[in-house]
Structure 1
Amino acid sequence: MSSALFESHFSAVPEAVAIGHGRANLIGEHTDYNEGLVMPVLLRHHTVVALSPRQDNMICGISDRFDALDRLVDSPCDGSWLDFVTGALTMARLNGFAVGHDGKCGINIAVSSQVPAGAGLSSSAAFEIALLRAIGALTPARFDKLSPADLARMGQQIEHDFVGTACGIMDQMVAAVAPVGQAMLFDVRSMNTRCIPLFPGYDFLIIHSGADRKLSEGAYNERLAQCQKAASEMGVASLRDADLISCDRLADPLLKKRARHVISENIRVQKAAIALEAGKADEFGQLMDECHTSLDADFDVSSPILNDLVANLKSAGAIGARLTGAGFGGCVVALCAREQGDHILETFRSPNPNAWLVDRIEGL
């Protein structure tokens, strides 16, 4: 845990400790930055941040995953994990819960995480929300006036301005708002959320393919630009306002594919929410299958490894399966009846030797 890591490294007890959970997206992929609908669920795995203020303007950090690093509070970003810390300190200063009287006080910080990095499970958002909560715990009278949506927006701004990924707000919102054990239907445009209990007697298996991916290498931002261009050519503010008839009129076949995925995915999320509330696991599984096909064929973010894993999970008895997260590697999510879960987990490993179970999320 971060408290023990902090005490070992700094020979002191931290003044604040906070956590942020990773997430798996059950359905609604690449819709959040198009003002659409998503349905994520929290993992049990989380990131823990322990910290204390310093008397100078140094950030001194230790992590169980990365190197120990030190730098000045106002140092430029350099691509290291301390960029997240600099971003969180800046957000705290801009939003009234800064560390120190001038907002430029340094901190000692220790970070430990169970959330796999590069897996499409929001390790970055978990870190951002844990950071903001830990800093806020130093000034609770000011921090507690902020809403979870405020916290999510700050996490997103850290990602945009200090890390370099033009992400949507889904990951930060679910980390800031959702309870463990329920799916969160999130309308990104309105910022409205509704939490829905999971299927009783069914489990969602989160399985790492064994292939990592990295968003900041350009593919994610490329998809964002393509979606914006498609919306512009259809004369709408975002693809949330587009329909499949207008999509079919696009002259550019690549933009048509990108738009078709986003438009149809929003429809699938709406149907999935109805299926979840009605207890119709088979319908939900079919929508997951359709989502994966669309991500592979229209959004081009799957891979042979992910496709093989999804197919093998289906052959082993999963009701539905698809890649989760941005794609390009990482994880898949599979829905199964609870009594079939152990058999599926035993069966999929032989044809997918590098894959491993990350989490098993149980309905009540």
Structure 2
Amino acid sequence: MSIPDGWDAGELARAACLAARVRAGGDARIFAARAPGRVNLIGEHTDYSGLPVLPVAIDRSTIVVAAAVTAAEIELANADPRWSSRRFAIARQIPSYETGDWANYVKAAIQGVIDHFSARGIFTENLRGASMVVDGRVPPAAGLSSSAALTVSTAMAFMAVNELELDPIETATMVARSEWYVGTRAGGMDQAASILGRRDHALFIEFDPIRVRAVKMPANAALVVADSREIADKSGMVRAQYNRRVVECALAARILGRALELDGVTILGDVVRASPGWNAAELVEKLAAAAPARLGADLKEAASILGVSQPALDAELLGRGPTRIALDSSRPLEILKRARHVLGETERVIRAADVLEAGRLDEMGKLMNASHQSLADDFECSTERLDAIVECARRGGAFGARLTGAGFGGSIVALCDVASADSVIESIDRGYYAKLDPGAPSEKSEKSEKTKNFRAVLHAGAGASVIDLPTA
């Protein structure tokens, strides 16, 4: 058995345990798909605007083991007993479970494969069902993209069972909209990082179409990732906040495109690509001159500025059906601040790829710090907890630290010298976790042991892959 890069002994053992639970009839082959989570170094909330990001795939993974079954359905189990088993039929349009159900991400992945291959003439009646067992070790709701790790590993396992093949870029593009199925209008960073990850490298990822440049991580660089213990569940309460910002950015793009007399603008990336020699400050100034900083959530004023009908704009920005975005009508849409963050962040990402590759960690840290400040002030997706843990990391000697992922909770990433990693972790333990839940003196050693699960030095790892497992 040939083992692709990324699988370690522990993951192979996990796959073997899952294989014992898979119902493989007759001589059905058993496949194991491994997909890592990711930590984003810089480039937050830019991907759904079609603008670049700089993540790394991490050495934490989800594994899905699968084998074909005779019925046209998915039999689904999870190694974690907290997540109930599920069974659902393969259909052209798979209905979702209730909001928040873990298996919706599995359904999203299967639906994505069905949609993609139906366009190629491979329809549901041509697809085999599968018995699947999942083992996820990417911390959920922590901003490390456990959802993408699950959707990617599921899609790849289902394709393997059905002998369907795509190159990695095409697979990343196919899975990129998987979270739209669960109602989150996410971009494609998480899935691309999980599939295209490269050991000891960050990925400079551009979109529309996906393009990737591997950026070598300096040998003396360490990434400390720490969970704030504030849940950031994009399938739950955070979804409304996330989707609201997608709408705000899309609206800013349309207004800016009209002001610059550009055709076909729907996202800020369209504006950037149509504006050679652009810079963030000038584009923000153009936007400020074209519209108020805030617009009503009913989109009436926005429609008037754009010269379109309110119903048409509503349908374009909010969608229709069960995944339609619901806006809080009592809150205005922040147009200027959101665009200022996304455009400024794009400049930071482009610089960051160069300074990281050159080993200028101090400069990279300053860019990360500026990113966090912008996320807190202009994008308003940081929290008191995230700000506090970022400050602890910096006091401990990190070059820079910032929230990673969508924000509203979840994790932070700190860049430091390898020799300083322990000091950064100690500062976080003392200044954040100890104050978060101090406990009684007799509980200190137990709490200290639990704290170890919340922070770690993570390493840039390889992307997703599939292996055959022995059937006996």
Taking structure 2 as the reference length, the TM-score comes to: 0.71
Whether 1:219 and 2:241 are equivalent positions in the alignment is yes
Whether 1:230 and 2:257 are equivalent positions in the alignment is no
8 Å CA contact 2:109, 2:154 repeated in 1: yes
8 Å CA contact 2:63, 2:136 repeated in 1: yes
Q: Residue 154 of structure 1: which of 170, 174, 180 is its match?
A: 174
8 Å CA contact 2:198, 2:460 repeated in 1: no
Alignment deviations for residues 58-87 of structure 1 (CA, whole Å, 9 cap, x no partner): 321111241112233335211333333333
Q: Residue 286 of structure 1: which of 357, 362, 366 is its match?
A: 366
**314 and 187 in structure 1: CA distance in 2 versus 1, 3 angstrom threshold:** same
1:211 Cα deviation after fit? 1.0
Q: What are the ranges of 5 or more consecutive residues in structure 1 without an aligned counterpart?
A: none
Structure 2: distance between partners of 1:359 and 1:282: 18
8 Å CA contact 2:24, 2:30 repeated in 1: no
Whether 1:314 and 2:394 are equivalent positions in the alignment is yes
Amino acid at match of 1:313: A
Specify the structure having the higher radius of gyration (Cα). 2
Structure 2: distance between partners of 1:317 and 1:60: 49
- SS across alignment from 2:20: helix
Q: Residue 50 of structure 2: which of 35, 40, 61 is its match?
A: 35
The match for 1:72 is 89
**Matched positions, count:** 359
The match for 1:87 is 108
8 Å CA contact 1:73, 1:86 repeated in 2: no
8 Å CA contact 2:404, 2:411 repeated in 1: yes
The match for 2:405 is 325
Range 315-324 or range 345-354, more displaced:
345-354
Alignment deviations for residues 96-117 of structure 1 (CA, whole Å, 9 cap, x no partner): 4999982453221100011011
Range 319-328 or range 52-61, more displaced:
52-61
Structure 1: distance between partners of 2:107 and 2:387: 38
Structure 2: distance between partners of 1:223 and 1:101: 35
Structure 1: distance between partners of 2:209 and 2:170: 14
The match for 2:61 is 46
8 Å CA contact 1:323, 1:331 repeated in 2: yes
Q: Percent identity?
A: 30
The match for 1:239 is 268
In the TM superposition, what are the counterparts of 1:254-273 in structure 2 within 5 Å? Answer: 254-273=334-353
Alpha-carbon RMSD across the aligned residues, in angstroms, is 2.3
**150 and 190 in structure 1: CA distance in 2 versus 1, 3 angstrom threshold:** closer
Amino acid at match of 2:458: R
Q: What are the ranges of 5 or more consecutive residues in structure 2 without an aligned counterpart?
A: 1-13, 273-279, 295-333, 437-450, 462-472
8 Å CA contact 2:396, 2:424 repeated in 1: yes
- SS across alignment from 1:37: coil
Amino acid at match of 1:278: A
**215 and 90 in structure 1: CA distance in 2 versus 1, 3 angstrom threshold:** closer
For CA contacts below 8 A with separation 6 or more, give which structure has more relative contact order.
2
Alignment deviations for residues 16-44 of structure 1 (CA, whole Å, 9 cap, x no partner): 11111100000000000111110000100
Alignment deviations for residues 223-279 of structure 1 (CA, whole Å, 9 cap, x no partner): 000001111111262223254223232421531110000000000011111101211
**10 and 268 in structure 1: CA distance in 2 versus 1, 3 angstrom threshold:** same
Structure 2: distance between partners of 1:14 and 1:159: 29
In the TM superposition, what are the counterparts of 1:1-364 in structure 2 within 5 Å? Answer: 1-8=14-21, 10=23, 15-65=30-80, 66-74=83-91, 76-79=95-98, 80-96=101-117, 102-140=125-163, 142-143=164-165, 146-160=166-180, 162-216=181-235, 217-235=239-257, 237=265, 238-240=267-269, 241=271, 243-248=280-285, 249=288, 250-253=291-294, 254-353=334-433, 356-361=454-459
8 Å CA contact 2:56, 2:460 repeated in 1: no
1:139 Cα deviation after fit? 4.2
Range 253-262 or range 278-287, more displaced:
253-262
Structure 2: distance between partners of 1:359 and 1:2: 24
1:359 Cα deviation after fit? 4.0
**159 and 60 in structure 1: CA distance in 2 versus 1, 3 angstrom threshold:** same
Amino acid at match of 1:344: V
- SS across alignment from 1:53: strand
Amino acid at match of 1:153: T
- SS across alignment from 1:8: coil
1:132 Cα deviation after fit? 1.8
- SS across alignment from 1:352: helix
8 Å CA contact 2:78, 2:134 repeated in 1: yes
8 Å CA contact 1:313, 1:321 repeated in 2: yes
Structure 1: distance between partners of 2:162 and 2:22: 24
Range 19-28 or range 68-77, more displaced:
68-77
Taking structure 1 as the reference length, the TM-score comes to: 0.91
8 Å CA contact 2:60, 2:138 repeated in 1: yes
8 Å CA contact 2:59, 2:460 repeated in 1: no
